[in-house]
Amino acid sequence: MKITKCAPSILAADFSRIHEGISLIEASGGDWVHLDVMDGSFVPEISFGAQMVRAVRSLTDLPLDVHLMIEKPENHVTSFLEAGADYITFHAEASVHAHRTIQLIKAGGARAGISIVPSTPVAMISELLPFLDLVLIMTVNPGYGGQSLIPECLEKVRTLAALKSDRGFSYEIAVDGGINRETIKETKDAGIDVFVAGSAFFGAADPAEELSYMKNC
Ligand code: DX5
Ligand code: ZN
Residue range 206-216, pLDDT digits in tens: 999 999 999 99
Q: What is the pLDDT of residues 74-120, one digit of tens each?
A: 999 999 999 999 999 999 999 999 999 999 999 999 999 999 999 99
Q: What is the distance in A from the centroid of ligand 2 to the CA of 67? A: 5
Q: What is the pLDDT of residues 32-62, one digit of tens each?
A: 999 999 999 999 999 999 999 999 999 999 9
Question: What's the pLDDT band for 2 if we cut at 50, 70, 90?
Answer: confident
Atom of ligand 1 nearest to the CA of 180: 12
Q: Which of 61, 53, 70 is nearest to 26 (CA)?
A: 61
108-112's contacts with Cβ under 8 Å and 24+ in sequence apart are 108/77, 108/78, 108/81, 109/81, 110/80, 110/81, 110/85, 110/86, 111/86, 111/87, 112/87, 112/88
Cβ density class 148-168: b for 16+ within 10 Å, e for less: ebeeebbebbebbeebbeeee
β-pairing verdict for 172-176 and 194-197: parallel
Q: What is the pLDDT of residues 159-207, one digit of tens each?
A: 999 999 999 999 999 999 999 999 999 999 999 999 999 999 999 999 9
For the segment(s) 5-216, the CATH number from 3.40.50.300, 3.30.565.10, 3.40.50.720, 3.20.20.70 is 3.20.20.70
Q: What is the pLDDT of residues 128-159, one digit of tens each?
A: 999 999 999 999 999 999 999 999 999 999 99
Measuring CA to CA, how many Å separate 124 from each of 6, 17, 40, 66, 121? Answer: 26, 39, 24, 21, 6
What stretch of H or E contains 104?
helix 98-107
pTM of the model: 0.98
Phi, psi for 10 (deg, rounded to 5) = -75, -5
What residues does each domain of the chain span?
A: 5-216
**Ligand 1 touching residue 203 (CB < 6 A):** no
Looking at the CA of 12, name the nearest ligand: 1
Contacts of 168 (CB under 8 A, 6+ apart): none
Q: What is the pLDDT of residue 32?
A: 98
Separation between Cα atoms, residue 166 and residue 168, nearest integer Å: 6
Residues labelled catalytic: 36, 176
